[in-house]
């Protein structure tokens, strides 16, 4: 009579299999995380693109005026007429629960806080270098947002405070990093409605932008907001392509808001 014996794995063979699986997992996990982050970056840019399109439609209906005022938020002027869902206002890097109720709807993006809400976009003399919307983060070791659909007028904002920093309102504290790429980058929508995935902390030559009738070039690193003959000068960290060939397009987001 023939007997069939099945050979079991030895402890050493099991350990080898476990080690191989662990090595494969250690290789695959960073790749998965990278793919997941790139998907969030794409979603984030798509949200800003939709906000940009809605802003353009609003301006078409309001003689070129940007949304928002001292009494009305820019969010309420875009939602629900031009953007039907509050989800567009929430960044994929914002971990708060989604909501379609005004009082609890997360808003992750802020408009430039340098008194541009409600004014004519024609007064921005260099729209290709002027950030209009960007992530409105609060301070913290992790990416954190506090803006809501009912945040006070003129709405959620990002405002330069000097010293290479920009704050977000509500809260008023300065973010210590970007939203992705190990907190080194953010997405931003410019006044000409183009998008950029840009570094958070790179310093470059600065160009001044005025919400009046003229524009001037100021000295390097002079990116604070100042008053000149009653005019509000808005500093930008990014020189226009073709004007300063030595300055690459990627610049410091915080230097766009002075």
pLDDT band for 6, please (50, 70, 90 cuts): low
Q: How distant, in Å, are the alpha carbons of 27, 37, 43, 128, 185 from that of 31?
A: 7, 10, 18, 34, 19
Beta-strand ranges (E) seen in the chain are 109-112, 131-135, 157-162, 165-169, 185-190, 195-199, 207-210, 226-228, 231-236
**Alpha-carbon span 46 to 187, nearest angstrom:** 10
Strand-pair category, 109-112 with 131-135 = antiparallel
Mean pLDDT over 167-179 rounds to: 86
The residue to which tokens 């007028």 are assigned? 153
User: What is the distance of C-alpha 131 from the center of its chain?
Assistant: 10
Mean pLDDT over 213-217 rounds to: 26
178 CB burial (10 A radius; 0-12, 13-18, 19+): buried
CB 31 within 8 A of CB 38: no
pLDDT band for 167, please (50, 70, 90 cuts): confident
Least confident window among 130-134, 184-188, 218-222: 218-222
**Alpha-carbon span 211 to 200, nearest angstrom:** 24
What DSSP string runs through 15-28? HHHHHHHHHHHHHH
Strand ranges across the sheet with 157-162: 165-169, 157-162, 109-112, 131-135, 185-190, 195-199
pTM assigned to the model: 0.73
Mean pLDDT over 118-138 rounds to: 90
CB 238 within 8 A of CB 247: yes
Angle at 192 between CA 216 and CA 75, to 5 degrees: 110
């Amino acid at each position: 009579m023939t007997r069939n014996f099945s050979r079991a794995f030895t402890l050493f063979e099991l350990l080898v299999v476990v080690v191989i699986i662990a090595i494969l997992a250690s290789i695959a996990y960073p790749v998965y995380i990278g793919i997941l982050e790139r998907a969030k970056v794409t979603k984030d840019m798509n949200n800003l693109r939709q906000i940009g399109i809605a802003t353009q439609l609003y301006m078409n209906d309001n003689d070129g005026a940007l949304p928002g005022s001292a009494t009305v938020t820019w969010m309420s002027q875009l939602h629900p007429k031009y953007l039907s869902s509050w989800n567009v206002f929430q960044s994929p890097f914002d971990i708060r629960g989604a909501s379609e109720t005004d009082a609890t709807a997360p808003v992750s993006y802020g408009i430039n806080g340098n008194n541009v809400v409600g004014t004519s976009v024609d007064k921005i003399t260099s729209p290709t270098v002027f950030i209009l919307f960007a992530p409105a983060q609060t301070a913290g070791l992790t990416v954190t947002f506090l803006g809501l659909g009912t945040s006070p007028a003129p709405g959620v904002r990002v405002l330069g405070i000097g010293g290479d920093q920009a704050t977000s309102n509500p809260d008023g504290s300065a973010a210590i990093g970007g939203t992705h790429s190990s907190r080194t980058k953010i997405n931003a929508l410019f006044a000409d409605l183009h998008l950029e995935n840009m570094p958070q902390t790179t310093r470059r030559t600065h160009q001044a932008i005025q919400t009046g009738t003229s524009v001037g070039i100021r000295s390097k690193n002079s990116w604070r907001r100042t008053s000149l003959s009653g005019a509000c000068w808005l500093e930008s960290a990014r020189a226009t392509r073709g004007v300063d060939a030595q300055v690459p397009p990627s610049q410091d987001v915080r230097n766009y808001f002075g």
